[in-house]
A and B are shown apart, each in its own frame.
Chain A
Amino acid sequence: SQQGEEDPQALSIQEGENATMNCSYKTSINNLQWYRQNSGRGLVHLILIRSNEREKHSGRLRVTLDTSKKSSSLLITASRAADTASYFCATEKSGNTPLVFGKGTRLSVIA
């Protein structure tokens, strides 16, 4: 299985702090994507990082990818209460293959 698995399963921080979530996977991938899901809602795409990239930024988000360790991390800086959501990594192998999602990290940002 190429499943992405996030850790921690749950994370609670104070507003203004940084949040780091990790994702590990098992097989070679073409890209890894991070999504956010507010409770009971749809998935919002955050960042796509390709296997030949090591780091990407988007606003307060920073994603790293270490293909040798088959792991990725998502850093949210200066967190806000509105960042409270579940965060999922999803991996995609080469070819027209589907996204394989991990179980997600539930982030709670306390104001």
Chain B
Amino acid sequence: EPEVTQTPSHQVTQMGQEVILRCVPISNHLYFYWYRQILGQKVEFLVSFYNNEISEKSEIFDDQFSVERPDGSNFTLKIRSTKLEDSAMYFCASSEARQAIQYFGPGTRLTVL
């Protein structure tokens, strides 16, 4: 069964460094998302992406964040200058249509020291 994959599974970085989290959505899906989950808290929406542009973003998704679909398969989340509070699990998701099931990847645990 097709699934969303994410790399790396765990990323440790120093405060102020840039990180890129990678996702490979399910191949026939058109809508892509990033969510994050701070330890012990709820899953929070960051950004949605469709037709090569951001369709919606939350207040969390400020100027330090960016997303890109550099080729036909990858979907990336870049955090330019990481802060301690960026430490969280970051989940990528994809869906084949609007209002359809969103399939989540296994997540990348980001630890900012």
Contact = CB atoms under 8 A, between A and B. Distances in A.
Interface of A: 30-31, 33, 35, 40-45, 48, 88, 90, 92, 94-104
B33 interface: yes
Interface of B: 31, 33, 35, 41-45, 48, 50, 55-56, 58, 89, 91, 93, 98-107, 109
The interface residues of chain B, by DSSP majority, are classed as strand
8 contacts: A42-B91, A45-B102, A45-B103, A88-B43, A96-B48, A96-B56, A99-B33, A99-B45
A97 B56 contact: yes
Contacts of B93: 43
Contacts of A31: 99
A14 B61 CA distance: 42
Nearest to B34: A98
Q: Looking at B41, B99, B107, which has the most chain A CB atoms within 10 Å of its CB? A: B99
